[in-house]
Structure 1
Amino acid sequence: MHIGLGLPIADPATLPEWARRAESAGFSTLGLLDRLVYDNPEPLVTLAVLAGTTSRIRLQTEVLIAPLRDPALLAKQAATLDRMSGGRFTLGLGVGGRDDDHEAARTDIRTRGRRLDEQLTLMRRLWAGEPFSETCGPIGPTCIETNGPALLFGGFRPAAIDRVGRWGGGFLAAAAPSWAEPLFDLARRSWTDHGRPGAPRIVAQLNAALGPRPLIDQARTAILDYYEFSGRADQMAAGMLTTADQIRSAIEQFENLGADEVILYCYGADPDQVDRFADAVL
């Protein structure tokens, strides 16, 4: 079981320190969320900075809202990060459910799923070195692997989870262990139905904070603000794990369900949490 850290978004200037500490402690991955109409750092830019401050730890979007972006430019950005990180980059993708993000990007939220599939078709061709069109050439740089960077798909609906098998990516489950198993099963079924060898990578995500009461309160406030749009902010904040025993128990449950990795998502900004999490679970 691999354990990664989801980076807090409150103070981007501290994230290189988070990254160096996480790599030194032995965490597997640094994850970063994506929004457009929100006070968060842009994930591809941020992960590029963190790639330069680390040498071993993986870098992962969780998840990038692809329909907000131009696919040719996104393919180039992802290939660049893939090459410059030495293949450590995983492109986690989702469609985004916030009206304001799509309004600001001037994209139609009603067609976001179809748009993502069209983007993936084009990006896979570009990553393979094919020309953009009959009148427009290839778009580099060349990725380390022919198919491009590793892919990871978030989602809850069957159509979203079916992208795991269709596109040969992993599955990110932002779900508690108590209701994650059916989602894992859908991802594995998609993988089999599309004739993929082996099994998909399964990544679980847990909201967590370790530290004194002011830090816990800060993290809870950040979760409430981030999920305010959804109508389930209270539920998300209540599910945040705040003790080492709670975190270890949840990781064990995910391990029993067959998850390959658990990302501890941090909403509290104190980098000393890296050491607390390492003491608790590594």
Structure 2
Amino acid sequence: MPVMEPDLDRATLRSWAQLVDGGPFSSLCWGERIAFDNPESLTLLGALAAWTDRVRLVTTVVIPQLHDPVMLAKQLATGDMLCGGRLTVGIGVGGRHEDYRAVGVDPATQTMRQMAERVAVMKRVWAGEKVTESTLPVGPPPVQPGGPELHVGTLGPKTVRSAAAWADGLAGITMDLAVDKQGELFDVARDAWQQAGKGKPHLATSFWFAIGDGDAPRAQVHRHLLRYMNWIPAEFVDALAPTTGFAGTADDLREVLQRFADIGTDEVHLIPTSQDIDQVRRVAEVIDDFS
């Protein structure tokens, strides 16, 4: 979803959701920010549950430390009910202290340990346990027994290993399409899940994209990054932009997706850099080859 683009409205968001749902895509994803003008993630979850019928809905990522864990568990269980059990919850610690401060949360809680503690509470709620002195446990129960799948958003092997105890997979990101580096992280995950006595983890990565001809796609990525990375001096963003994300033709994207498929990637989540819905149509033509 193009949630980090300016001037969004209901019609744009609904059109994107319905086009993705009707196409060859496996999931519909969106991220969370607080100190930004994007739609609130969990409110949007309710709308996306109503606007779609087929694709999985994937938060990439929600930051548990920005929410009360019991209320977050209730909200996500409600979302899982509304979408008929199609919810996957990508979670991470986030990268902006300003988001923590915006909701009165100490940035010192921006750790994997703090996140894991909140996940443990959420899992208890989804299991139907009483986590307070209330007469009844917090509900509704999620459609998926035990709650939605949890994917950890991370770039590093240490985080992957620590999350193996509670996560079902990875919701990764690659800035520069470094397939070899991503493959190494996937190997760490496979090994960590095996050591934890669990099955194969779901392996997903993501990157910013712009599809088209000539210089226009790279310029589109650059504009998006300047706006989205507004906490970084513009000259640093200017230096990052030429090599960040994907910018190229349909054939170029097909080649990149094949490289990720070759290392065992289960899903690639493409992060929009424009709200132009034609970008979705052009990607759909490409990924028909991978359906």
Q: TM exceeds 0.5?
A: yes
Highest RCO, 1 vs 2 (Cα 8 Å, sep ≥ 6):
1
Whole-Å separation in 1 of the counterparts to 2:232 and 2:70: 31
Q: Which moved more, 1:157-166 or 1:100-109?
A: 157-166
Q: TM (normalized to structure 2)?
A: 0.88
Q: Is residue 247 of structure 2 the alignment partner of residue 252 of structure 1?
A: no
Residue of structure 2 in register with 1:7 after alignment: 2
Q: Are residues 271 and 230 of structure 1, via their aligned partners in 2, closer, same or farther at CA, if it must alter by over 3 Å?
A: same
For 1:142-157, list aligned pairs within 5 A: 142-157=141-156
What is the CA RMSD across the aligned residues, in angstroms? 2.0
Query: What are structure 2's unaligned runs of at least 5 residues?
Result: none
Residue of structure 1 in register with 2:49 after alignment: 51
Whole-Å separation in 2 of the counterparts to 1:134 and 1:270: 50
Could you list the runs of 4 or more consecutive aligned residues of structure 1 that deviate by over 3 angstroms after TM superposition?
Answer: 134-137, 211-219, 228-234
Residues 182-234 of structure 1: CA distance to partner in whole angstroms, max 9, x if unpaired? 211222122112111x2000011121112476676344211232234357634
Residues 63-88 of structure 1: CA distance to partner in whole angstroms, max 9, x if unpaired? 11111111011000000000110011
Residue of structure 2 in register with 1:3 after alignment: none
Q: Which moved more, 1:106-115 or 1:35-44?
A: 106-115
Whole-Å separation in 1 of the counterparts to 2:56 and 2:29: 8
The 8 Å contact of residues 152 and 167 in structure 2, kept in 1 or not, is answered as no
Q: Is residue 209 of structure 2 the alignment partner of residue 208 of structure 1?
A: yes
Offset at residue 146 of structure 1 (A): 2.6
Whole-Å separation in 1 of the counterparts to 2:4 and 2:85: 24
Q: Is residue 237 of structure 2 the alignment partner of residue 235 of structure 1?
A: no
Which amino acid in 2 is paired with 1:145? Q
Secondary structure class of the residue paired with 2:231: helix
Q: Percent identity?
A: 35
Query: What are structure 1's unaligned runs of at least 5 residues?
Result: 1-5
The 8 Å contact of residues 8 and 268 in structure 1, kept in 2 or not, is answered as no
Offset at residue 251 of structure 1 (A): 0.8
Whole-Å separation in 1 of the counterparts to 2:76 and 2:259: 33
Residue of structure 2 in register with 1:96 after alignment: 94
The 8 Å contact of residues 64 and 91 in structure 2, kept in 1 or not, is answered as yes
Secondary structure class of the residue paired with 1:118: helix
Offset at residue 8 of structure 1 (A): 4.1
The 8 Å contact of residues 174 and 204 in structure 1, kept in 2 or not, is answered as yes
How many correspondences in the alignment? 276
Which amino acid in 2 is paired with 1:238? T
* Correspondent of 2:196 among 187, 194, 197: 194
Which amino acid in 2 is paired with 1:227? M
Offset at residue 117 of structure 1 (A): 1.2
Which amino acid in 1 is paired with 2:285? D
Offset at residue 46 of structure 1 (A): 1.1
For 1:1-282, list aligned pairs within 5 A: 6-10=1-5, 11-13=8-10, 14-113=12-111, 114-134=113-133, 137-175=136-174, 176=177, 177-196=179-198, 198-211=199-212, 217-229=219-231, 233=237, 234-235=239-240, 238-241=243-246, 242-282=248-288
Whole-Å separation in 2 of the counterparts to 1:42 and 1:135: 28
Whole-Å separation in 1 of the counterparts to 2:266 and 2:129: 33
Offset at residue 133 of structure 1 (A): 2.8
Secondary structure class of the residue paired with 2:282: helix
Secondary structure class of the residue paired with 1:229: coil
Q: Which moved more, 1:35-44 or 1:72-81?
A: 35-44
Residues 23-49 of structure 1: CA distance to partner in whole angstroms, max 9, x if unpaired? 212211111011111111112211210
Offset at residue 237 of structure 1 (A): 5.5
Offset at residue 135 of structure 1 (A): 5.4
Whole-Å separation in 1 of the counterparts to 2:68 and 2:149: 19
Q: Which moved more, 1:121-130 or 1:203-212?
A: 203-212
